[in-house]
Structure 1
Amino acid sequence: MDRKDFLNSIGMSAAAFALINCLGCKKTDGNSSSDTSGPTGVNFTLDLSQAANAVLLNNGGSLVSNGVIVAKTQAGAYIAVQRSCTHESYTLTYQAVNSRFYCPNHGATFSEGGTVTNGPASRALTVYNTQLTGTSLKVYS
């Protein structure tokens, strides 16, 4: 085998290897999934007297449960939206000071009511109902 044949062989092998590895390419970084919709059939209750949920006793507090961000606004209202951005499913954060949900991946923002306030997202968040009874906060579709 001469030098030219050898280099061709290496180049073809590398190209074939790259093609095989990229055929199934998709995001798997742990921060995203292929679903940009919120969970359906949501129906759970948080006991606000438990330490794990105590952050919701304070205005501006938030937590993630069952694929939903549950937050207490600066005004003291409870709100709940899907935890994933509608652009590429990255995990959102609640920014109480700015009264919004923020995607740290591409900078999309959403109002507390779930509407898009800054792209690249173009679809609103799924919003869930909340009902406080004593220290039990029910979150449901």
Structure 2
Amino acid sequence: MDRKEFFSVIGMSAAALTIMGCLGCSKGSDSANGPSTPAPTSVDFTLDLSASSNSALATNGGYLVSQGILIARTAAGAYIAVQESCTHQSYPLVYQSGSSQFYCNNHGATFTEKGVVTGGPTNRSLVVYNTSLSGVSLRIYS
């Protein structure tokens, strides 16, 4: 094998690896991108909003994660709850109150406060849970 043939083979191998890597991140196929953790089911628990462990929910825009569920207090003061993990590859989500959305720091997926996909490498919406406030008790249930 001469030098020209060697570089040709190396170049084709690198191109093939690059193409395979890109296909692995295609937007249309979440299952090709890795496992997705299922959202919690049969959910029914209550948070004491006066407890220091839940103090993030004392102010509008705050959020916390409990039992696999992200609970947030919107800019308007409403409580909302969705599955904690992104539907793409199960990375933890954050709540961005300034833009009223859930965001995945890993691949940039975005979801509305109602859990609907607005961008990113997934096409599956988040599971949304019901919330009910009674005094300082916030119930999260499915």
1:119 Cα deviation after fit: 1.8
Identity %: 61
Residue aligned with 1:69, SS: strand
2:128 aligned with 1:127, yes or no? yes
Deviations 1:67-94 (A, max 9, x none): 0000000011000000000011000001
- 1:20-31, aligned counterparts within 5 Å? none
Structure 2 runs not aligned, ≥5 long: 1-33
Map of 1:77 onto structure 2:
78
Deviations 1:50-106 (A, max 9, x none): 001021111001000000000000011000000000011000001111100000111
Deviations 1:7-54 (A, max 9, x none): xxxxxxxxxxxxxxxxxxxxxxxxxx8334311011110000000102
Structure 1 residue runs of 4+, over 3 Å off? 33-36
Amino acid at match of 2:132: Q
Residue aligned with 1:52, SS: helix
- 1:49-64, aligned counterparts within 5 Å? 49-64=50-65
TM-score of the pair, normalised by structure 2: 0.74
Structure 1 runs not aligned, ≥5 long: 1-32
Q: Partners in 1 of 2:37 and 2:55 — Cα distance? A: 29
* Residues paired across the two proteins, number: 109
